[in-house]
Amino acid sequence: MLQFNHSRILCVCLILSVSTASHADNWPQFRGPGGQGIAKAEDLPVTWSETENIAWKTALPGYGASSPIALNGRLYLTCYSGYGIERDQSMADLKLHVVCIDGEKGAILWDRQIEPTLPESARVRDHGYAAATPATDGKHLYVFFGKSGVFQFDLDGRQLWRASVGTNVHGWGSGASPVLYENLVIVNAAVESESLVALDKESGKELWRVGGIRESWNTPLIATAESGRRELLLAVKGQVLAFTPDRGRALWSCETGITWYIAPSMVAADGIVYCLGGRSGIAALAVRMGGSGDVTATHRLWTSTSGSNVSSPVIHDGHLYWMHEQRGIAFCAKASNGEIVYERRLEGARQVYASALLAEGRLYYVARNGETFVLAARPQFEQLAHNKLADRSTFNASPIVCNGKLILRSDENLYAIQMMK
């Protein structure tokens, strides 16, 4: 006769349930697990308004274009205050913030202020001084404030180290977010020093640096080639570049044909990386990973004149989905050849800087005026909802998911949107 240790079984079940929930609910970096903008979620709302499906709304201590991240039911984000918000403010009063918020109730748990390295850019167009999304390894936070440096905090808000990756500034500010790989914090410091920099997570010491990184505002992507090789991918003006993530050794480069700076972050699937960018001419391309040297003639699969100059795409079931940043047009393209499947203007979309979010077979597009469009994630165009919030500030941040809630961030507020029963 079999005998069961019920306490052990209960313990194992609890461990498994916590582990599963943690994997599904955590959003540890810009665009979530893997940096692809894809959420594993259930029962997210499709419709909402100021009076419908709002779990909570929290006023933030400063402005920012950075997206929140989520870890174990807490939200972490960055802000700036004191300068660059109202007229006649003094740069000497600029403060940088790292903020922790209870994801269940919306209460601010702590707000750590950082003295910036001055002088900063006198004016940052559209994005301000807190545009990089934090990253976490589950033990610490890693935050990037451009010229002011890269920071490590513990989860209670205690600063552990600070490291500089360069001192240059730009009128568009610093937008790329840090990514973590093994013992490394990897930062696209194109603005600060025209470099890609890897720091040691524990000490902040610089471990490697690649120069020649110019006109690049996208967050690096770590993806796997068909061979199983891990590659660190970054788009710069005119090229997609691939490096070994552990040492920064150059693997391959591919000419894009895009003549503008690159702001959208890339996505990858099945050993192919997809890049958007540009305002005219070639604005998108696909490159097969795994090459060596200049792979333009051998690994560039297609180019397209349809793309986006700011917002990043998602890839799902063999199709790419994205929004044009200025024209309010939603695109769907075949990932195999770049052929446009649909191209539909969304009434009221206006400017869209936030990157696409895929969840439960739906696409969430957040416009800068706070209007969110929900589309079916399939190659037949179907608009499921058009949601509006009465928030007069700007929505630049990309949406995320935390514990069954859709999280939206404007300059002034953080919203948790949930199916209210």
Q: Could you read off the pLDDT of 102-124 as tens digits, one per residue?
A: 999 999 999 999 999 999 999 89
DSSP character for 327? T
* pTM across the whole model: 0.93
In whole angstroms, give the CA distance from residue 151 to residue 143. Answer: 5
Question: Is the model's pLDDT at 368 over the cut of 80?
Answer: yes
The total of other beta-carbon atoms located within 10 Å of residue 198's CB is 25
Dump strand ranges (E) for 4-94: 38-39, 54-59, 69-71, 74-81
- pLDDT-above-70 percentage for the chain: 94
Query: Taking residues 216-225, what's their average pLDDT?
Result: 98
The tokens describing 349, both together, are 């979309």
Which of 137, 53, 147, 150 is closest to 98 using CA atoms? 150
The confidence band for 96, taking pLDDT boundaries of 50, 70 and 90, is: very high
Whether the per-residue pLDDT at 16 is higher than 50: the answer is no
For residue 119, cis peptide bond before it (omega within 30 degrees of 0): yes
Pairing of strands 159-163, 74-81: unpaired
Cβ neighbours for 20, distance < 8 A, ≥ 6 positions apart: none
pLDDT exceeds 70 at position 14: no
Which residues have a Cβ under 8 Å from the Cβ of 376 and sit 6 or more positions away?
361, 362, 363, 382, 384
> Which spans in 217-338 are helix H?
296-299
- Rounded CA-CA distance 385/360 in Å is 14
Please say if the pLDDT value at position 21 is more than 80.
no
pLDDT, one tens digit per residue, over 179-193 is: 999 999 999 999 999
- The tokens of 39 are what? 């959420």
pLDDT above 90 for 421: no
Q: Distances in Å between the alpha carbon of 420 and those of 101, 322, 363, 417? A: 20, 29, 21, 9
**Does residue 3 lie in a domain region?**
no
Residue 7's pLDDT is 38
Phi, psi of 301 (to 5 degrees): -90, -40
- What's the number of CA atoms in the CB half-sphere (13 Å) around residue 369? 13
Q: Which residue would you say has higher pLDDT here, 7 or 55?
A: 55
Q: Which residues contact 248 (CB under 8 A, 6 or more apart)?
A: 196, 198, 208, 209, 210, 232
- For residue 279, the model assigns a pLDDT of 83
Nearest to 306 by CA among 318, 319, 322: 322
Quote the CA–CA distance of 282 and 303 in Å, as a whole number.
7
Q: Which domain holds residue 320?
A: 24-417
The answer to whether position 6 is within a domain reads no
CA-to-CA separations, 360 to 41, 48, 287, 407, in angstroms, rounded: 7, 17, 28, 15
**pLDDT tens, residue by residue, 316-351:** 999 999 999 999 999 999 999 999 999 999 988 889
Percent of the chain scoring above 90 in pLDDT: 90
For the cut 60, the answer to whether the pLDDT of residue 3 exceeds it is: no
Residue 19 covered by a domain: no
What is the reported pLDDT for 184? 98
| 68 burial type by CB count under 10 A (0-12 exposed, 13-18 middle, 19+ buried) | buried
Contacts of 210-216 spanning 24+ positions with Cβ under 8 A: 210/243, 210/248, 210/250, 212/236, 213/188, 213/189, 214/190, 215/190, 215/260, 215/261, 215/262, 216/176, 216/188, 216/190, 216/261, 216/262
Question: Which of 16-30, 104-118, 245-259 is predicted least confidently?
Answer: 16-30
Could you give the number of structural domains in the chain?
A: 1
Closest CA to 95 of 86, 84, 82: 82
**What average pLDDT does the chain have?**
93
Least confident among 7-16, 42-51, 86-95, 298-307: 7-16
pLDDT band at 126 (very low <50, low <70, confident <90, very high): confident
Instruction: Kindly tell me if the per-residue pLDDT of 22 is higher than 50.
Output: no
Q: Which of 386, 285, 383 is nearest to 330 (CA)?
A: 383
Work out the number of other CB atoms within 10 angstroms of the CB of residue 367: 23
In whole angstroms, give the CA distance from residue 302 to residue 296: 10
pLDDT, position 420:
84
* pLDDT value at residue 221: 98
| Predicted confidence (pLDDT) per residue in 36-58, tens digit | 999 998 899 999 999 999 999 99
Tell me, yes or no, whether 188 lies in a domain: yes
Structure tokens at 98: 């790292």
More confident residue, 7 or 68: 68
- What CATH code is carried by the domain that includes residue 184? 2.130.10.10
Which amino acid, 24?
A
Neighbours of 164 (CB within 10 A): 16
Task: Let me know if residue 35 belongs to a domain.
Answer: yes
Phi and psi at 270, nearest 5°, equal: 55, 40
pLDDT value of position 10: 36
Beta pairing partners, 286: 274, 302
152 within some domain: yes
The Cα 333–Cα 342 span in angstroms is 7
Specify if 271 maps to a domain. Answer: yes
Residue 320 within any structural domain of the chain: yes
